[in-house]
Structure 1
């Protein structure tokens, strides 16, 4: 699947917003609200792997906020990942395991 396919699938399942990492948390493009990672739940993730160029690889994370806002965060392959995004995703994964 391509990243566009993953985004279309997420949208069909109600994940219509985009979450963007900021210094103090994660902001939704839909509400403008800044969420702390503890206010977010990782619902599902799926990645792309085209096998030829690692720069084309990415993972789409489907995330739901405690107020019901649903959206996605896209993280580039490990070599190009923003360290702040990686920390947020790691925290969401830990929260998911402890729930």
Structure 2
């Protein structure tokens, strides 16, 4: 596992390592503008996770996910959490975080 000081540093390094697609959550599905498909919360593998907490500003809190789609496509999902989290996709994000906790326990 790598250690990063900033979100920008994490994203730049992941892109250098082949995680070139930018994933977003829309309608409780994982999507990429470059792919003609979408994924449910169990339809992809979370390869790496990096959490960032702002020392004084809740807007600086985020999680960076390195993701592998079933096709082998690699990409990144950056999820802000805290006061500015998107309520529309809360269930999807909750399930992502549950997968991480289960992975850490296992």
Question: Residue 2 in 1 paired to residue 6 in 2?
Answer: yes
Structure 2 unaligned spans of 5+ = none
Deviation at 1:32, TM superposition (A): 3.1
Please give the residue correspondences for 1:15-94 in structure 2 after superposition, counting only pairs within 5 Å: 15-23=19-27, 25-94=29-98
Deviation at 1:71, TM superposition (A): 0.8
Q: What SS class does the counterpart of residue 73 from structure 1 fall into?
A: strand
More helix by proportion, 1 or 2? 1
C-alpha distance in 2 between matches for 1:9 and 1:52:
25
More strand by proportion, 1 or 2? 1
Deviation at 1:86, TM superposition (A): 3.9
Cα root mean square deviation, aligned: 2.3
TM-score, normalised to structure 2, is: 0.75
